[in-house]
Each structure stands twice: as structure tokens, then as C-alpha cells.
């Protein structure tokens, strides 16, 4: 995998803050966006996706973890497909679900456990890695956001600006793409 064009490290100190971080991204999510999420069980991936859905105005009652369904559609401000690769073993199994037809379409695609089948991600995407910090605080998370491609550099910088309340500094943050 090539180096990301832009990165942002952030911390969430509660489940609510993880939800709020997702909601801010959901407000700026656009058709065709691809967001991959990786991290251990319980690291906050599904909570974050719930926030994204909330920010995209998906009714709360529609949002569920798609672990058994593999792909779950949401209707909000824009259509969203929420996929979970945890139970899949390879690309062929994923292909049989019809997932590849969704990528690059008129909906945003959010994929939990992208690290199980990384070849499912398009060359340009946003990758979020969730980790438990060594603080001893059970609800704290470290999130490492990596933008691959200029579309996602712009998306990540806008999200960062919305979250931090200050405009990003492209001259210091943009890297090779």
C-alpha cells in the first residue's frame, strides 16, 4: 500500500465522543465516499459508524451492526452502505455478496474490518484505525485517520477543521500522494 497523502491522529475519551466524531464526518460525507475502519473487537468502529449515520440524517432505528447481513443499507441525506467483513474469509466470498457493485456508486460505503480483505478498498479512500490507548481508561480510543487520494485529503481536512474548530494548514499537512 502506498503512503497516505494526509494523516490525522486524534483521541476519543468516551463512547459519546466517538459517536460525535462520526457525526461530524457524516455531515460532510458525499456520494461515492469509501471509508474503511479497522481495529480490535470493541474498539469503537460500530459506534463511530452510528455517529456517521446520525450525521448523515439516517434514522437512529435503522442503524445496526451488519455482522451477519454483511452489508446493510441506510437511507439518509445520502444513501449509505455499511459493510462488515469480520465473517468473510476472502475476496471471492465478498464478491459473491455484490459488494463490488456498490463501490464508487451513488452511495457512501463504510466498511468495518477492512483489514480482513484490504483489496476491497479502491485506491483512493479514507482509512480509520481504532486503538485502545495504554491509559487504563476503558472508553478512550486513539483514532489514526489516513487519506489516500486528494478527494480524501480534502474530506479529512474538512472533518478535522469541523472537529477542532480551526482551519487545517495544508502547507504543513499535505504529503506525497
pLDDT at site 55: 94
Torsion-angle region of 42 (φ positive above 0: left; ψ -120 to 50: alpha; else: beta) = left
At 114-171, the pLDDT tens digits run 999 899 999 999 999 999 877 677 788 899 999 999 999 999 999 998 887 744 444 3
Cβ neighbors of 39 (< 8 A, separation 6 or more) are 45, 129, 130, 131
Mean pLDDT in residue range 44-71: 85
Cell match 434514522: residue?
59
pLDDT of residue 67: 60
Q: Strand (E) positions, 17-140?
A: 34-39, 71-75, 79-84, 108-112, 125-131
Q: E strands of the chain, at which residues?
A: 6-12, 34-39, 71-75, 79-84, 108-112, 125-131, 141-148
**Domain residues of the chain, as ranges?**
10-165
**Closest of 96, 94, 126, 132 to residue 110, by C-alpha:** 126
pLDDT of residue 169: 43
What is the spatial distance between Cα 59 and Cα 173, in angstroms, rounded to a whole number? Answer: 35
Which CATH entry fits the domain spanning 10-165: 3.40.50.300, 3.10.129.10, 3.30.429.10, 3.40.50.10490?
A: 3.40.50.300
The C-alpha cell at 135 is 491509559
Map residue 112 onto helix, strand or coil.
Answer: strand
More confident residue, 176 or 92: 92
**Lookup: cell for 98:** 455484490
Q: Return the closest-CA partner of residue 128 out of 100, 167, 155, 101.
A: 155
Q: What is the mean pLDDT of residues 69-73?
A: 83
Confidence of residue 60 (pLDDT cuts 50, 70, 90): confident
> Higher model confidence: residue 30 or residue 171?
30
Amino acid at each position: 500500500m502506498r503512503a497516505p497523502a494526509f494523516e490525522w491522529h486524534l483521541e476519543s475519551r468516551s463512547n459519546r465522543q466517538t459517536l460525535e466524531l462520526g457525526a461530524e464526518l457524516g455531515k460532510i460525507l458525499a456520494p461515492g465516499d469509501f471509508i474503511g475502519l479497522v481495529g480490535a473487537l470493541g474498539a469503537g468502529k460500530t459506534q463511530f459508524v452510528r455517529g456517521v449515520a446520525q450525521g448523515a440524517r439516517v434514522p437512529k432505528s435503522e442503524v445496526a451492526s451488519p455482522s451477519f447481513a454483511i452489508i446493510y443499507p441506510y437511507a439518509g441525506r445520502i444513501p449509505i452502505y455499511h459493510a462488515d467483513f469480520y465473517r468473510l474469509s476472502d475476496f471471492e466470498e465478498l464478491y459473491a455478496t455484490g459488494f463490488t457493485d456498490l463501490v464508487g456508486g451513488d452511495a457512501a460505503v463504510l466498511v468495518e474490518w477492512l483489514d480482513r480483505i484490504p483489496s476491497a478498498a479502491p485506491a483512493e479512500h479514507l482509512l480509520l484505525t481504532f486503538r485502545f490507548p495504554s491509559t487504563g481508561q476503558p472508553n478512550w480510543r486513539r483514532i489514526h485517520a489516513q487519506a489516500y487520494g486528494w478527494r480524501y485529503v480534502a474530506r479529512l481536512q474538512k472533518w478535522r477543521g469541523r472537529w477542532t474548530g480551526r482551519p487545517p494548514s495544508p502547507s504543513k499537512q499535505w504529503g506525497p500522494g
